[in-house]
């Protein structure tokens, strides 16, 4: 993925990289059918704050450390799911950033997400219940996540995605703190997933 603008920072407290901006976030409102890259659009259902990079948008209502919806578009061979800060996380840790590769299947994507969370600081990461599910009317997949932050906060997650004919990945990832925040928006997230329209 492209380098984030200078005002974008990476926060690891959630156990997944979170984009934050220097200025005020943009607002996403219900009924606007927001476009994610040039790949698909969704109906936000409710009002969200939004930050974005070239292939990633992050939406939140109460703050990204409480809940966040990550919308990826056109992840290509060699791309990472982490936004690229000015100083690479992997260089700080002496680790190579997990990357998506053309030819991956749904179970590989599930493993990629789990590995990315773990490298970002999450502990006790669990990913499972991989199942087929439509994504914008096409064949896709969903899976569930559980993990804890480095501060011991428990999170649940839900991922939905598809791999295009040319091998690119579209992925929507929702994560929320337990016990309240994941449950509070789960039904809304399901409606957002059902609203996906491919472009």
Instruction: Write the pLDDT tens digit of every residue in 58-105.
Output: 999 999 999 999 999 999 999 999 865 544 333 445 468 899 999 999
**103: Cα separation from own chain's centroid:** 20
As a whole number, mean pLDDT of residues 146-157 equals 95
Q: What percent of the chain has pLDDT over 70?
A: 81
Per-residue pLDDT reduced to its tens digit, 102-113: 999 999 999 999
Cα maximum dimension of the chain: 44
- Where helices occur in the chain by DSSP H, the ranges are 89-93, 106-119, 181-194
Q: What average pLDDT is seen over the chain? A: 85
User: Is residue 79 a contact partner of residue 1, using CB atoms and an 8 Å limit?
Assistant: yes
Q: From CA 137, how far away is CA 147, in angstroms rounded? A: 30
Q: What is the pTM of this model?
A: 0.86
Give the containing element (helix H, strand E) for 194: helix 181-194
**169: Cα separation from own chain's centroid:** 12
Judged against a pLDDT cut of 50, whether residue 18 lies above it is answered with no
Per-residue pLDDT reduced to its tens digit, 28-50: 999 888 899 999 999 999 999 99
User: Is residue 1 a contact partner of residue 17, using CB atoms and an 8 Å limit?
Assistant: no
């Amino acid at each position: 993925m492209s380098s984030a603008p200078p005002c974008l920072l990476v926060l690891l407290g959630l156990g997944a990289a979170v984009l934050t901006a220097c200025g005020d976030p943009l607002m996403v409102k219900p009924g606007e059918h927001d476009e994610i890259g040039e790949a698909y659009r969704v109906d936000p259902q409710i009002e969200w704050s939004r930050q974005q990079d070239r292939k990633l948008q992050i939406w939140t209502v109460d703050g990204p450390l409480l809940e966040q919806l990550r919308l990826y578009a056109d992840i290509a061979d060699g791309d990472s799911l982490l936004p690229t800060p000015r100083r690479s996380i992997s260089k700080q840790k002496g680790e190579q950033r997990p990357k998506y590769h053309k030819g991956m299947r749904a179970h590989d994507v599930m493993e990629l997400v789990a590995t990315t969370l773990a490298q970002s600081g999450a502990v006790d990461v669990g990913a499972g219940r991989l199942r087929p599910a439509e994504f914008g009317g096409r064949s896709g997949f969903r899976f569930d996540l559980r993990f804890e932050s480095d501060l011991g906060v428990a999170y649940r997650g839900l991922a939905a995605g598809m791999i295009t004919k040319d091998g690119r990945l579209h992925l929507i990832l929702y994560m929320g703190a337990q016990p309240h925040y994941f449950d509070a928006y789960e039904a809304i997230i399901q409606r957002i997933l059902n609203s996906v329209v491919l472009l």
